[in-house]
Amino acid sequence: MLVPLFIAGDEAHVVLTKRREDLRRHPGEISFPGGREDPEDADLRATALREAREEIGLDPGGVELVGALQPVPTIATGYAVYPFVGIIEPGNAWRPAEAEVAAVLEFPLSMLEAGYGRRRLLRRGIPFRTDTYEVGEHLVWGATARMLADLLDRLSAPA
């Protein structure tokens, strides 16, 4: 999984995707670009870069990988997600993969942080409370919210 960051207007922004509503797994959810490792991928960093190219049209040559976040499990599907942080230039012309991406979203980190809250959600008929980030009509929760919390913690930690 790639966590693409860029600076615009002296502020850090993150790139996320909104998944299509008709997908079998995680329909309509907001996530970072990413997916399963292919046998031809040299390592998980290569997987993250390949998936970002496939899902949003991000050129791997334009990504400077600067670190990794803690691996995150997904509760519903039982995946282990390995997020890599990459710095990109602002102003990309996104090309979302029609089969899985409904929209590419760019949010200032400050806006996501301001939208933080613990909310009660309903998933498959089961209510639960979880950390979320809300920007307008967009709600980030689950594994993506846990990755975002890790990123925000690291960025706010004293050097």
Cα 133 to Cα 122: distance, rounded to the nearest angstrom: 16
pLDDT of residue 159: 63
pLDDT of residue 157: 74
Judge whether 132 and 116 are in contact, CB under 8 Å: yes
Kindly calculate the radius of gyration of the chain based on its CA atoms and give it in whole angstroms: 15
Tokens of 28: 């309509």
Cα 155 to Cα 135: distance, rounded to the nearest angstrom: 20
The DSSP secondary-structure symbol of 98 reads T
Judge whether 28 and 22 are in contact, CB under 8 Å: no
The domains located in the chain, with CATH, are 2-156 (3.90.79.10)
pLDDT of residue 89: 97
pLDDT of residue 76: 67
* Residue with the larger pLDDT of the pair 58 and 120: 58
Q: What are residue 111's phi and psi, to 5 degrees?
A: -70, -40
pLDDT in tens, 69-87: 999 987 766 778 999 999 9
pLDDT in tens, 119-141: 888 777 878 888 999 999 999 99
pLDDT in tens, 1-50: 999 999 999 999 999 999 997 887 777 799 999 988 999 999 999 999 99
